[in-house]
Structure 1
Amino acid sequence: MTVNADTHAVAKATWRDLPAAQQPEYPDAEALRDVVAELQSYPPLVFAGECDQLRARMGAVARGEAFLLQGGDCAEAFDAVSADHIRAKLKTLLQMSAVLTYAASVPVVKVGRIAGQYSKPRSKGTETRDGVTLPTYRGDSVNGFDFTEAARVPDPERLKRMYHASSSTLNLVRAFTTGGYADLRQVHAWNQDFVKSSPSGQRYEALAREIDNALNFMKACGTDPAEFKAVEFYSSHEALLLDYEGALTRTDSRTGKLYDTSGHMVWIGERTRQLDHAHVEFAAQIANPIGIKLGPTTTAEEALTYIDRLDPDREPGRLTFIVRMGADKVRDKLPELVEKVTASGATVAWVTDPMHGNTFEAASGHKTRRFDDVLDEVKGFFEVHKELGTHPGGIHVELTGDDVTECVGGGDEIFVDDLHQRYETACDPRLNRSQSLDLAFLVAEMYRDQ
């Protein structure tokens, strides 16, 4: 596979002439131009053929033949690019995938919020503490987390750090997923440090024994498929910083199409999905599979317009609607969207993000989410699709492989008073490993009931 790194592709980008929300205000425009020029000379992080392969897999999701598991950090951090951190996230996703594949009898498309999720849209441009007002933290790709004037200045050099951190992460993920770690025979090894202390770990271990028995039976029958020895795993992130995404956009030498080679799949966030703004126009020009977050204010007319703009050829797998309504709104707001999109003849993948619509601030000041609210939004999502006879295509969750205390509830009950113990996120609260496995088992049950 060759990709022609045609930097002229960026010059053709009509999105540059449009307003773009949530972009950093860099104090030195010339420094930004120098960084963008350097990024344009860097090799692609992913290849066009891999993006095409994911688009085909997402086509199966859209047609009701597979289920998407998309998860990872709210915002990645440069200081967390280590083998232990990456392995822990991957292990959690592999365990969730094993649960969904075996318990729900459905092929699972595995996509990480990984190797590029270093930027975050924010509701406010500034943050005030003790009478001091500074620019808000927008992720390690933009500025520093420390509440100091120097740390909070947007620095374009961080875009290069994001590229190198993403490259290191992808390199390790590829090694783990193809080098034996993701072999289904490792289904017990993924759980060794977890099973004794956790109810969800013990439940997983029982399922792992069943998988083992099935594998042994197949081997005894003379069947030992290569698919069990490695997994397809794809990267994704929000295409927020258009200077970075544009600099990594390349022309595919096979087809002449543009691909954003910063990740296999990119999505447009709830705060940047304005139809007449740059993010939608940028996404319309690239051939990657595209996601778009739809909140409770989304109208059916907007959804249909997104399809016209982003999927004019009506190709299953091109467009994923990631709905983030909130547990109290999903049953009221989602049906009209699904009905009218289905009636239009478009085949999109419908995925639930049960995290972002269910955030609240605890008395301690910590942003958190109730596991029961997360679960209830997933239930509502499945109920709507069951009622309409459509396919609930997947889940999109913020999670970590670490035993953090950021969301309350779950099988290993975390209380509001526990949040301070291991509250490590720089932005939004994530499900820990136990809560993630709890969710996978519950989603598998819902899927079977469809």
Structure 2
Amino acid sequence: MTFPTLEHLRTLPLKQQPSYPDQGKVDQVVERLRSRPPLVFAGECDDLREKLAKVAAGEAFLLQGGDCAETFDGVTAENVKNKLTVLLAMSVVLTYAAQVPVVKVGRIAGQYAKPRSSDTETRNGVSLPSYRGDAVNGFDFTAAARVPDPERLLDVYNASAATLNLTRAFMTGGFADLRRVHNWNRNFVAGGAMARFEKLADEIDQALRFMVACGIDGDQMKTVDFFASHEALLLDYEHAMTRIDSRTQQPYDTSGHLVWIGERTRDLNGAHVELLSSVRNPVGIKLGPKVTPEDVLGLVEKIDPEQEPGRLTLITRMGAGKVREALPPVIEAVEQTGRKVVWVCDPMHGNTFTAKNGYKTRSFSDVVEEVNGWFDVHDDLGTWPGGVHIELTGDDVTECVGGSGGLIEQDLESRYETVCDPRLNRDQSLELAFTVAERLTDGRINRHNPVQAFVPAEL
């Protein structure tokens, strides 16, 4: 495939990019990034694409989750561990309760830039550039902090490298060992989903003890595969991090294993689609309720002309009240092309509202309703519901109302810590995992699929 130059991309429709005051400084930073080692490797991206091909074939499920927007201050061992703990606990629920292998992908080690609906933010009559993530400018509402600074792209690289190092250490150094499953739940609130997780953990312990007694005690129980993903929003950064693989002579965006195009930047003739259609990574596309079948067909033909299994992940973000109506024609159009893409539900972005006290929030009941509507559509069409994409945190924040903890709007000010969109806290995330597992179990029964045996190697 032909890899476009950065100069060519800048001639195409280009949305959601920073307005840097000094283009010469941007070019210098890009050149420095080009000399940095890759953050991920081509072989890892190929491995993920193979796993996603199994998801597309209905043989596995994708769990993708993490912060709405990572921050440089959040790159600590404790913060990374907490996020991984939630994702591990959710994956265990899905694997054991629903009896389906789970591909684990974090919104991690690169999610430092965010698209915004407005270029400016106004407070008390003062207007400043919008905060676009730590990759672009500062969160503080001051003129100095809000100036886009290309040097921050180097900070993104360093923060992502540190996060990936921590993640790999946790996933291969014993933390993810299934025999530690009870240790993962220490920070969860007792009751509700936690009680269900304790019961499930007991069952896993019994199964593992039986397997050890049978002489099965391999490394598969001690480590898990974990992949990094983010929205490929900043073209300067993504282009600079693309490398030509020495084995295949093909370009890979080495900033992350899976990169996706957002709802605001999926212009078929735009620079984002042009860039990601030219790299060998698995590619995701966010699709909102206004997308048409014609829009989607144009995108999938552009990015996946060879109909390669595992290449495309279509992440729908329709909203609880629109998913049942907006999703079916999109699925039907893509399925008619013969492609088997990964269908993923993002139940977060279509369900955001502003509470009476001014906090941007989401209702857990709306999140669950969109998940259920999404499953209903797939059940009706006979297609495989391939995964969920969740904005979540490993901390006990109060950003989304509802859930078994009974959070209400007055609770939001207690621990509202996100710098952008509200996230599910650790207990709401675990509760959602049980909901998804139940729907997966029901769907497998309805499709008369044989129930797979518990296989630790697939966790």
Q: Which TM-score applies when normalising by structure 2? A: 0.95
User: Residue 272 of structure 1: SS of its match in structure 2?
Assistant: coil
User: Residue 187 of structure 1: SS of its match in structure 2?
Assistant: helix
> 1:261, CA displacement in angstroms?
0.2
1:245 aligned residue (238, 241, 249)? 238
Which residue number in structure 2 is paired with residue 108 of structure 1?
102
Which residue number in structure 2 is paired with residue 229 of structure 1?
222
Query: Partners in 1 of 2:188 and 2:115 — Cα distance?
Result: 34
Which residue number in structure 2 is paired with residue 209 of structure 1?
202
Deviating above 6 A after TM superposition, structure 1's stretches of 4 or more consecutive aligned residues are none
Give yes or no for the alignment of 1:355 onto 2:348: yes
Which residue number in structure 1 is paired with residue 172 of structure 2?
178
> 1:347, CA displacement in angstroms?
1.1
1:320-350 superposed Cα distances (whole Å, 9 cap, x missing partner):
1000000000000101111121111111110
Which residue number in structure 2 is paired with residue 119 of structure 1?
113
User: Residue 134 of structure 1: SS of its match in structure 2?
Assistant: strand
> 1:301, CA displacement in angstroms?
1.1
Which residue number in structure 1 is paired with residue 129 of structure 2?
135
Give yes or no for the alignment of 1:268 onto 2:261: yes
Asked if 2 retains the 8 angstrom alpha-carbon contact of 1:10 and 1:249, the reply is no
Query: Partners in 1 of 2:350 and 2:300 — Cα distance?
Result: 23
Which residue number in structure 2 is paired with residue 87 of structure 1?
81
Query: Partners in 2 of 1:295 and 1:10 — Cα distance?
Result: 27
Give yes or no for the alignment of 1:28 onto 2:22: yes
Stretches of structure 1 that go unaligned for 5 or more consecutive residues are: 1-7
1:190 aligned residue (184, 187, 194)? 184
Paired residues for 1:272-291 under 5 Å: 272-291=265-284
> 1:14, CA displacement in angstroms?
4.0
Give yes or no for the alignment of 1:167 onto 2:161: yes
Moved more, 213-222 or 412-421: 213-222
Asked if 1 retains the 8 angstrom alpha-carbon contact of 2:6 and 2:236, the reply is no
1:328 aligned residue (321, 325, 334)? 321
Which residue number in structure 1 is paired with residue 48 of structure 2?
54
Counterpart residue type for residue 77 of structure 1: T
User: Residue 19 of structure 2: SS of its match in structure 1?
Assistant: coil
Which residue number in structure 1 is paired with residue 303 of structure 2?
310
Counterpart residue type for residue 385 of structure 2: P
Counterpart residue type for residue 232 of structure 2: A
Stretches of structure 2 that go unaligned for 5 or more consecutive residues are: 444-459
Counterpart residue type for residue 129 of structure 2: P
Which residue number in structure 2 is paired with residue 380 of structure 1?
373
2:211 aligned residue (198, 218, 221)? 218
Asked if 2 retains the 8 angstrom alpha-carbon contact of 1:368 and 1:407, the reply is yes
Which residue number in structure 1 is paired with residue 386 of structure 2?
393
Asked if 1 retains the 8 angstrom alpha-carbon contact of 2:188 and 2:426, the reply is no
Counterpart residue type for residue 203 of structure 2: E
User: Residue 10 of structure 2: SS of its match in structure 1?
Assistant: helix
> 1:306, CA displacement in angstroms?
1.1
1:412-438 superposed Cα distances (whole Å, 9 cap, x missing partner):
110011000000000000000000000
> 1:111, CA displacement in angstroms?
0.1
Query: Partners in 2 of 1:37 and 1:290 — Cα distance?
Result: 25
User: Residue 235 of structure 1: SS of its match in structure 2?
Assistant: strand
Which residue number in structure 2 is paired with residue 3 of structure 1?
none
Moved more, 9-18 or 86-95: 9-18
Q: How many residue pairs get matched?
A: 442
> 1:220, CA displacement in angstroms?
1.2
* Structure 1 residues 61 and 13, CA gap change in structure 2 (3 angstroms): farther
> 1:13, CA displacement in angstroms?
7.1
User: Residue 127 of structure 2: SS of its match in structure 1?
Assistant: strand
Asked if 2 retains the 8 angstrom alpha-carbon contact of 1:9 and 1:250, the reply is no
Give yes or no for the alignment of 1:65 onto 2:59: yes
Which residue number in structure 1 is paired with residue 293 of structure 2?
300
Query: Partners in 2 of 1:393 and 1:117 — Cα distance?
Result: 22
* Structure 1 residues 12 and 405, CA gap change in structure 2 (3 angstroms): closer
Query: Partners in 2 of 1:262 and 1:13 — Cα distance?
Result: 20
Counterpart residue type for residue 424 of structure 2: L
Same amino acid, percent of matched pairs: 63
Counterpart residue type for residue 182 of structure 2: H
Query: Partners in 1 of 2:284 and 2:228 — Cα distance?
Result: 13
Counterpart residue type for residue 311 of structure 2: R
User: Residue 264 of structure 2: SS of its match in structure 1?
Assistant: helix
Query: Partners in 2 of 1:426 and 1:401 — Cα distance?
Result: 15
User: Residue 389 of structure 2: SS of its match in structure 1?
Assistant: strand
1:38 aligned residue (32, 37, 42)? 32
1:77-100 superposed Cα distances (whole Å, 9 cap, x missing partner):
000100000000000000000000
Query: Partners in 2 of 1:330 and 1:228 — Cα distance?
Result: 38
User: Residue 205 of structure 2: SS of its match in structure 1?
Assistant: helix
Query: Partners in 2 of 1:171 and 1:10 — Cα distance?
Result: 30
User: Residue 236 of structure 1: SS of its match in structure 2?
Assistant: strand
RMSD: 1.2
Counterpart residue type for residue 326 of structure 2: K
* Structure 1 residues 133 and 13, CA gap change in structure 2 (3 angstroms): closer
Asked if 1 retains the 8 angstrom alpha-carbon contact of 2:4 and 2:275, the reply is no
Q: Which TM-score applies when normalising by structure 1? A: 0.97
Query: Partners in 1 of 2:211 and 2:277 — Cα distance?
Result: 45
Asked if 2 retains the 8 angstrom alpha-carbon contact of 1:13 and 1:282, the reply is no
Which residue number in structure 2 is paired with residue 154 of structure 1?
148
User: Residue 110 of structure 1: SS of its match in structure 2?
Assistant: strand
Query: Partners in 2 of 1:182 and 1:123 — Cα distance?
Result: 39
> 1:226, CA displacement in angstroms?
2.3
> 1:225, CA displacement in angstroms?
3.4
Counterpart residue type for residue 249 of structure 1: T
Query: Partners in 1 of 2:214 and 2:89 — Cα distance?
Result: 26
Counterpart residue type for residue 40 of structure 2: V
